[in-house]
Amino acid sequence: MITPIQGFSKLSKDEKINWIASNYTHNTQQTKEVLKVYWNSDAKLQKLHDEFIENTITNYYLPLGIAPNFLINNKLYAVPMAIEESSVVAAASKAAKFWLTRGGFKTTILGTEKVGQVHFIFKGDEKKLESFFTAIKPVLFNDSDSITTSMKKRGGGITNIELRNKTEDLEHYYQLHCTFETLDAMGANFINSCLEQFAKTLKREALAYTDFSDEEKNIEVVMSILSNYVPNCVVRAEVSCTVEELSEGNTEEAQHLAEKIVQAVNIAKIEPYRAVTHNKGIMNGIDAVILATGNDFRAIEAGVHAYASRNGKYSSLTNASVDNGVFKFWLDVPLALGTVGGLTNLHPLVKTALEILQKPSATELMQIVAATGLAQNYAAVRSLVTTGIQEGHMKMHLLNILNQLGATDEEKKTLTAHFKTNTVTHSAVVSAYNNLKND
Q: Which amino acid is at 59?
A: N
CA distance 115 to 231: 9
- DSSP structural state of residue 47: H
426 catalytic? Reply is: no
- For helices 13-24 and 28-37, what crossing angle results, to 10°? 140
CA distance 98 to 75: 16
Backbone φ, ψ for residue 116 (5° rounding): -145, 160
DSSP letter string, 382-416 = HHHHTT-HHHHHHHHHHHHHHHHHT--HHHHHHHH
393 catalytic? Reply is: yes
85 catalytic? Reply is: yes
Catalytic residue among 85, 125, 216, 259: 85
C-alpha R_g of the chain: 27
Catalytic residue among 106, 203, 217, 280: 280
26 catalytic? Reply is: no
257 contacts 246 by C-beta, under 8 angstroms: yes
| Distinct helix (H) and strand (E) counts, the chain | 17, 10
How many CB atoms sit inside 10 A of residue 394's CB?
20
- DSSP structural state of residue 7: S
Catalogue the long-range contacts made by 150-155 (C-beta closer than 8 Å, 24 or more residues apart).
151/182, 151/183, 151/185, 151/190, 154/183, 155/181, 155/183
Catalytic residue among 143, 238, 287, 296: 296
Q: Active-site residues: which are they?
A: 85, 280, 296, 393
